[in-house]
Structure 1
């Protein structure tokens, strides 16, 4: 998809909450871009704020990471899956309920005003609130895939492992593994009983299951570019809620929208035009 990044000028006639409300009322095809800020009131930390997830990982250092980003790095995960699964229960969706903002998105959809919600969140609370027109750009815990054979299962299949802080292994790989050789009987020697080396039972070799959330080193889901290309042609309003827009390519949604489409940004930190 061709990308042209341009700086937007602030529209002077739109400056108050009341103006934003009127825009929402008059719009019929709203694209909403959401980030971790809409879930912090649910008890889920954001990633990059002063008290966010990365800051907590860096400060506590309980997982002995060189960099907190390693928690979501695909190469580190494949080598040290136990680190992620020692932590994943803290952000697992079943522990949380949707916020008023999630329910606002559901209301937009009920009023047939929501064209699509592009969420950077992996908590799945949009769907839990009833939103169907949502693209989870960074994936979610709703499904999981084997990193070796690519078998996909419902996320509930590994829920018990996540909540118990265990590494879940692929059952398909375990079934396909060759049968273990039978034990040989120990041989009696003059010096007494001694086990033969071949008696040692080879360890099982199933592969690791990974939740279908996008780690660093992985691409976005395949639908992102196609849906965004269609939505930019139809949208009449862009709402940006609870995101610092620091992670590409989702952050580029703002620049890819035609300049004729109003944008309303709701966030705690100050935004410079």
Structure 2
């Protein structure tokens, strides 16, 4: 099975990678949806909704996520993808993750569908702040004189649309792909999951690596239930 993937990578001219929380949980970073995840026992559509900006629960939730990210670092799967990009194989990574681990590992062509936590931004005047404001300051009010805005993470919340530029770029990359590798995403989130359908419809080969089942397993050319880091390392050894 892995030999097939090695052959696909060797023969492909345009590889696009789609990633979700599963690639970062291998760094020890807690995910959102699983048992024990950040949303376990909570109502994510309330805590992480655009209408919750300014609430104590909202700030506490994202402060905790920033702390989580600062306590962890990219793993060998992130590093292997960066190496494949540097070698000219991987053309783009389209990620649901907001941790910036792909960039930290050296990847350059990263399309962030759900934003990031590298910095914060006022929801009225747009002034940017380092994310340390959430860690060091009890207030989430904008510091610009006369502005009464709230400082919030640059992430896509429930009730908000995906960034138009990111969505356009992702679809452009998928339209050119002859191989799409899907790593660590349950493919439960719309419209991110439609990228896999689009790739399949375009005739691209799909390599799907997650431990859990997904609603799109049926489109996979190769389906692997295993650790992403372990599998990518074995693939790299075969290239």
Verify same fold: TM over 0.5.
yes
Give distance in 1, aligned partners of 2:137 and 2:197.
40
User: What is the DSSP-based 3-state SS (H/G/I as helix, E as strand, rest coil) of the residue aligned with 1:168?
Assistant: coil
The two structures have a TM-score, normalised by structure 1, of 0.72
Unaligned runs of 5+ in 1: 1-15, 59-64, 178-205
User: Counterpart in 2 of 1:47?
Assistant: 32
Q: What pairs up with 1:100-179 in 2 under 5 angstroms?
A: 100-149=76-125, 151-154=126-129, 156=130, 158-159=131-132, 161-164=133-136, 166-172=138-144, 175-176=145-146
Pick from 215, 231, 245 the counterpart of residue 173 of structure 2. 231
Q: 1:256 to 1:152 in 2, by over 3 A?
A: farther
Pick from 218, 223, 239 the counterpart of residue 160 of structure 2. 218
Is the contact made by 1:73 and 1:217 (CA closer than 8 Å) also made in structure 2?
yes
User: Counterpart in 1 of 2:60?
Assistant: 86
User: Counterpart in 1 of 2:11?
Assistant: 26
The two structures have a TM-score, normalised by structure 2, of 0.82
Q: 1:89 to 1:115 in 2, by over 3 A?
A: same
User: Counterpart in 1 of 2:211?
Assistant: 268
Q: 1:165 to 1:22 in 2, by over 3 A?
A: farther
How many residues align structurally?
Answer: 213
Give distance in 2, aligned partners of 1:95 and 1:47.
16
* RMSD (Å), alpha carbons: 1.9
Unaligned runs of 5+ in 2: 219-239
User: Counterpart in 2 of 1:35?
Assistant: 20
Give distance in 1, aligned partners of 2:182 and 2:23.
11
Q: Which of the pair has more CA radius of gyration? A: 1
Give distance in 1, aligned partners of 2:171 and 2:184.
23
Is the contact made by 1:85 and 1:166 (CA closer than 8 Å) also made in structure 2?
no
Give distance in 2, aligned partners of 1:33 and 1:229.
12
